[in-house]
Structure 1
Amino acid sequence: MKKSLCAIALMSMVTAAGAANAQSFVYVSNAASGTVTGYTLDKVAMKLEPIGRFPAGEGAMSSVVSADKKMLYVSIRSKPYHVAAFHILNDGKLEKAGDTPLPESMAYLSTDKRGHFLLSASYGGDLFSINRIGKNGLVETPPVQVVHTGKRAHAIQVDPSNHYLYVTLLGADQMLQFHFDQDTGKVTPNSPSFINIETEAATGPRHFVLAPKLDGQGKQNMYILTEMAGNIKRLTMNTNGTFTPQEDIVSVSPDDQKSMQRGEARPLTGDDNLPPTYKPRIWQADIHITPDGKFLYSTERTNSTLSSFSVDPTDGHLTYLRSIKTEKQPRGFAIDNSGRFLIESGQKSTQLSLYAIDKSSGKLTQLGQYPTDNGANWVSIVE
């Protein structure tokens, strides 16, 4: 009995020491500088500590961390289009591992749940690609499958079961629905093969998130951010892995809606080298949900705001809470796995904002701002 107690005590000490020494690394893609900047997230001191600046390639944008947390993959959206793979070292520094060609300029990267395949969607090429990831962590070529889509494929993800795959089409106002074979990496259309997202013309379904747990009715909720309508659409999963739209939630503040209606001009520049426009518009970018599923956040680029919502545990309904000003032309952000910190980047800013998330109210409190390179647009966290 004494030996058992000693063993339990020793195991507890080891576990506690491991938790105390566990590190969180933050990586930011900087398209204009062609770099990835790295930071350590100190959760005790509640600050970021710079690790270094790592060359990646002009147009470095979407990134994703491998399932085993050993690799970082970054989409390079300048020719020749490819994905850059980096080893994540113990101190958080990045070591270049290799480059793999991709069929097009890829706006969004993700992996399947087992980490065996890299999934990438091309906004400019109207397609998505599935590439196997080798045991050495490198992305392999040729792709397992390339699927041509409707206009402006933007985001691509699998569901928590790893059996279904979804792709939003920003230009077609649709979401494609597939069966995903986790052994071969290939997809086949589900039935129906797509759903219409629009409640009006040209809403632009962009990024989406799946709730981390089922709601009180046992339903899986999905939230799709519409780039141009100022809404978030809530959908629920059916037994065959397809989704049914449920409701639209207004996702920009009343003040922002009024300023756009007044026609206040703001010079804007978009992705894919689009020309600037002075037409006022809603221009949403990114969406994430806390690991406990209680709060959801989104960014809007025209007014440089970060908005927060509470999530009803009964049915997944969103309630708008507030919007705050953040980095100029906010593009991408990330939430740590404790749900206590949010890191946000801006394409027109050369610094990051670190926020604390109030666990009871969802309110964001800025803890600090930290230098990064030009064209910061994507944030990934390794924990």
Structure 2
Amino acid sequence: MSKKTLLASLLSLISISAMAAQSTSWVYVSNADSGTLTRYQLHKGQQKLLPQGKVDGLPSAMSSVLSPDKQHLYLMLRSKPFRVATFKIASDGQLIKQSETPLADSMAYLSLDKQGHYLLGASYGGDLFSINHIAANGDVERAPVQVSHTGKRAHAIQTDPDNKYLYVSQLGSDQLLQYRFNPADGRAQPNSPAFVNVEKEAATGPRHFVFSPHASQNGKKYLYVLNEMSGTITTFVRRQDGTLIQSASTPSLDPAIARNMQRGEARPTVGELPPSARPRIWQADIHMTPDGRFLYASERTSSTLNVFAVSPQDGSLSFINSVKTETQPRGFAIDNSGKFLIASGEKSQQLSLYSIDKHSGKLSLLQQVPTDKGANWITLVE
């Protein structure tokens, strides 16, 4: 074989390997009722989810988050004693349990700062958030850097894309707390003002939120808050000092569905709400495609995914359509190419894999695969 032919063969193999790597992602699904993490390969070329096994012995497995270097997965176990489990991610996607660390309370939401040096948790039942340092080996350190008590029902916590500011949604007081974040020591100090009200009406229930990946043509950056009880998404402009100013409120349900529902109520930490005359609005999760063109939100009572176009001019939302999905969809995820969406349902024992139309944002069902009971959170490694 000539050197030229050998070189061509090597380049071909490298190209094939690179394409294979790009077409494969690992998918981890938290199943609270079964106490498991189910694992899948998302083969983008085949447009399929391929089951790869599971990890058992994880009671009330819920919120999870991936380290920026993609080496560790952190999983909240919302059974007493409340703790976070740290897993090392092997090259074949298998999870190797590394440690467990007690946290200040039961955390409804986990995230990491953008450097991956601190674990952030928001506690719905404890009305607080906590910040814990992550050691060099990936373990979460036991002594928290900070525990701050909030108003009622803290629900989600994230730093902004620049890692300078931190926000906490308060479902019970209809506010977003806003902080200055110091990535050097992991501490958060209240910004001025320390909070913003989400909407004029009471009992909106701000839950999860998402940042626009880049500025719109008007030069502004946005934060979108999904309101659990009101059936709306509130749009905020993010100013340079980290403070938020409300820009718009957009109905987030199909009108044909919304007209038969009533405003939701904050869920108790134990037990269920009493029966109601009409089904209650109960929104859950919100995500945006990486290019910022489309936004998706889930509603649990109607078991729907609601699709929106995001204006490149001013970040405003336009409703596209509503898609029936898995029963009680608490969590879903979008891959980093923006071509696939994976949805789970707390009352379903299967996942739905959708393709995302790059022009319209509409979802097309590709596949449904089994998972365990109480599926609620999805994390991708790509």
What is the TM-score normalised by the length of structure 2? 0.94
One of 255, 271, 275 as aligned partner of 1:274 = 271
Amino acid at match of 1:325: K
Contact 1:56/1:84 (CA < 8 Å) preserved in 2? no
Per-residue deviation at 1:379?
A: 0.5
* Residues 339-378 of structure 1 mapped to structure 2, 5 A cutoff: 339-378=338-377
Gaps of 5+ in 1: none
Q: Which amino acid letter does the alignment assign opposite residue 360 of structure 1?
A: H
1:243 Cα offset (Å): 0.7
Aligned to 2:140: 139
Q: What code does the residue aligned with 1:87 have? A: K
Equivalent in the alignment of 1:214: 215
Matched residues in 1 for 2:369 and 2:44: separation? 15
Shift of 1:328: 0.4
CA contact 2:172–2:266 (8 Å) conserved in 1: no
- Structure 2 unaligned residues grouped into runs of 5+: none
Partner of 2:313: 314
Assess if the C-alpha contact under 8 Å between 1:269 and 1:275 holds in 2: no
Match of 2:291 in 1: 292
**What is the match of residue 24 of structure 1?**
25
The superposition leaves residues 277-334 of structure 1 with CA deviations (integer Å, 9 ceiling, x where unpaired) of: 4222110000000000000000001111110000000110000111011100110000
Does the alignment pair 1:73 with 2:70? no
CA distance in 1, matches of 2:207, 2:282: 10
Could you tell me how far apart the structure 1 residues matched to 2:20 and 2:58 are? Answer: 35
Aligned-residue offset at 1:272: 3.9
Partner of 1:85: 86
Deviations 1:126-160 (A, max 9, x none): 00000011111111110110011000000000011
For the residue of structure 2 that corresponds to 1:346, the secondary structure is coil
1:226 & 1:45 partners in 2: Cα distance?
36
Contact map agreement 2:199 2:234 (CA 8 A) in 1: no
CA displacement, residues 247-285 of structure 1 (integer Å, 9 cap, x when unaligned)? 100000111112215x9xx9x996844325422211000
Aligned residue number for residue 195 of structure 2: 194
Residue type of the alignment partner of 1:18: A
Query: Following the alignment from structure 1 to structure 2, what is the Cα–Cα distance between the partners of residues 249 and 149?
Result: 27
Figure out how many residues of one structure are paired with residues of the other and give that number: 375
* Pairs within 5 Å for 1:175-254: 175-254=176-255
Structure 1 range deviating more: 201-210 or 8-17: 8-17
Distance 1:368 1:86 in 2: 28
Is 1:380 aligned with 2:359?
A: no
Q: Could you state the TM-score of these two structures normalised by the residue count of structure 1? A: 0.94
SS of 2:162's equivalent in the other structure is coil
- Identity rate, percent: 56
Structure 2 CA distance for aligned equivalents of residues 12 and 312 of structure 1: 41
Q: How does 1:253-272 map to 2 (within 5 A)?
A: 253-260=254-261, 272=269
Which residue matches 1:165?
166
- What SS does the aligned partner of 1:188 have? strand
Q: Distance in 1 between matches of 2:216 and 2:74?
A: 32
